[in-house]
Structure 1
Amino acid sequence: MLKNKCCLILLFICVEGVIGADTVVMKSVTEGDSVTLNTDVTEVQKNDQILWMFGSQETAIAGIYMQIINMYDSNETFGDRLRMDSQTGSLTIRNIRTEHSGVYKLTIISKSTSYKRFNVTVYSPLPVPVISRGFCLSSSGSSVSKCSLLCSVVNVSDVSFSWYKGNSLLSNISVSDLSISLSLPLEVEYQDNNIYSCVINNPISNQTKHVDITQLCHSCADPVQYSQSKGVIPSLIYAVVGMTAVAVLVYYVKSMHKDTSTYNKSTCPLAF
């Protein structure tokens, strides 16, 4: 097997300089799924040679030589995930991971020589967005109640994050590369009967969370009444304090008047 491997790799190195331009095929897949890279060969003949390589270093991972399958990367990058079809030479990667994103190079030597490149991108599964209510908003003297909403996701990368009103896009943000946490705010009217949705998506999948405004913003139903009820206690306090102050003042005036009358009687008895 080692002899077959060395012969096959050396043969491809020797012929690579005379091979024409390759074809690039784009592939996108979700982490955990399987992806098959097709050779477009109907049946591998006895003298056909096929080699699969991966990454910028073009490391040999699988091949067929003299109709014998050779797996060159059985436990390093891919473990036991690689499967090669003996009839077509197509390569299947099972339970693919994000670290398996990259370029896969296929070289075929038959009656003619050709090769293809597969640019494979592996995306992490998308989480379902979480929608929470922030606070109620209302203007003084207005009967319109607004509710502040916040849509959040954690540990995401290479995604677009959006609020929709029906089918109309209201706002969105996009991120790439790093896994981060995202939050996107929105203000809605409590009486609004439109359908609002928070959507997270990447090129191959999406997750959507719809909003039931009446359920999430039920305490924002009557901001005017709420404002008035908040004003009841301060008004009562002001009234009690005012009445107490008046009562104290009246008592003080009466007391002063009484003391003055008593003093006059005791100091001027002969006046009568």
Structure 2
Amino acid sequence: MGPWSVENYWKLCREKDLEEHVFGESVSVMEGDSVTLHTDVTEIHEDEDILWTFGDENFLLAKIKKKRQMFSTYVPDERFRGRLKLDDQTGSLTITHTTTEHAGDYKLLIIRAEKSSKTFNVSVYARLPVPVIISNSSQCSSSTCSLVCSSVLNVSDATLSWYAGISVLSSISVCDLSISLSLPLEVEYQDKNTYSCVLNNPISNQTTHLDIHTHCHTCAGTTALCVYSLT
């Protein structure tokens, strides 16, 4: 089968005369948590070899040669130091204490009578802060209350929304890092709806609920700025 070489194996995997089966899977994980990329193999056979790589550069992360009882993980750079665990029975790879730097494509290659490969697109989402509702009584009136929901983000792929019950009133999204999101809302004091401000990404959310009668006060002749962050 030739020497253990990333270049040789991926060249082998791409050769047209091989019966190759390629699959893709999207995996999402919260920053700080662990994620396991499964081979879907119950037990590695004696004639099976397994290779894991990362990114467009195909950095070698792990390899298994069952016949030689070789089970190895590698550290291509500091991102993966102390974070890789290899299941000796299934060949599945676990990345622990994930950060956003671990997002990307992980490639699995299984060498056996029928060659197969699989790509895992891993997305790592930062933990979301609780959105803050601000009521500025300098802008209040005798009948309505002016509010702003905001959040300072150091995350990507997040959406900030105002809800009335389960209905979305307004929303704003961000793809860039380190940006402040804010959404205004004006409500009447006699409004009976239940309002909430929600910050979410594809796998989690943080919600701050608004109690109009507690957080909105009629003008009292003075300017005050009150901040509420109640979950």
TM range (shorter): 0.7 to 0.9
Query: Where does 1:233-252 land on structure 2 (aligned, <5 Å)?
Result: none
CA distance in 1, matches of 2:56, 2:131: 36
Is 1:16 paired with 2:27?
A: no
Residue number in structure 2 paired with 1:146: 144
C-alpha spacing 1:9/1:47, structure 2 compared with 1 (3 Å): farther
| Secondary structure, counterpart of 2:214 in structure 1 | helix
- Secondary structure of 2:12 counterpart: helix
The superposition leaves residues 101-158 of structure 1 with CA deviations (integer Å, 9 ceiling, x where unpaired) of 00000000122100000000000001111111023433xxxxx511111111112321
- Counterpart for residue 137 of structure 1: 140
After superposition, residues 49-198 of structure 1 pair within 5 angstroms as 49-65=49-65, 66-73=68-75, 76-135=78-137, 136-138=139-141, 145-155=143-153, 156-198=155-197
Contact 1:74 1:80 (C-alpha < 8 Å) held by counterparts? no
Distance 1:7 1:183 in 2: 53
Structure with a larger share of its residues in helix: 1
Contact 2:59 2:76 in 1 (8 A): no
**RMSD (CA atoms):** 2.0
Q: Secondary structure at the match of 2:79?
A: coil
Say how many residue pairs are matched. Answer: 213
- After TM superposition, the runs of 4+ consecutive aligned structure 1 residues lying more than 2 A away are 5-11, 17-21, 74-77, 135-138
Partner AA of 1:81 in structure 2: R
Describe the SS at the equivalent of 1:46: coil
**Residue 25 to residue 186, structure 1, CA distance change in 2 (3 Å):** same
Contact 1:137-1:148 within 8 A present in 2 as well: yes
SS in 2 for 1:7: coil
Q: Which whole-Å CA distance do the structure 2 matches of 1:137 and 1:154 have between them?
A: 24
The answer for the alignment partner of 2:224 in structure 1 is: none
Residues 59 and 137 (structure 1 numbering): CA distance in 2 closer, same or farther, change over 3 Å? same
In the alignment, is the contact (CA less than 8 A) between 1:31 and 1:95 conserved in 2? yes
> What's the counterpart of residue 203 of structure 1?
202
CA distance in 2, matches of 1:17, 1:56: 15
**1:9: how far off?**
3.5
**How far apart in 2 are the matches of 1:7 and 1:150?**
59
Q: Where does 1:216-231 land on structure 2 (aligned, <5 Å)?
A: 216-218=215-217, 220=218
Hey, which of these two has a bigger chunk of strand by percent? 2
Find the aligned partners of 1:107 and 1:150 in 2 and give their Cα distance.
51
Determine the structure 1 residue equivalent to 2:229.
none
User: What is the identity, as a one-letter code, of the residue corresponding to 1:187?
Assistant: E
What is the deviation of 1:11? 5.0
Find the aligned partners of 1:206 and 1:213 in 2 and give their Cα distance. Answer: 22
Structure 2 CA distance for aligned equivalents of residues 177 and 110 of structure 1: 43
Give the greater-gyration-radius structure (CA).
1
AA aligned to 1:63 is K
The structural deviation recorded for 1:21 is 4.8
Counterpart contact for 1:46–1:67, Cα < 8 Å: no
- Structure 1 vs Structure 2: percent identity of aligned residues? 53
- SS across alignment from 1:149: strand
1:14–1:160 CA distance, 2 compared to 1 (3 A) = closer
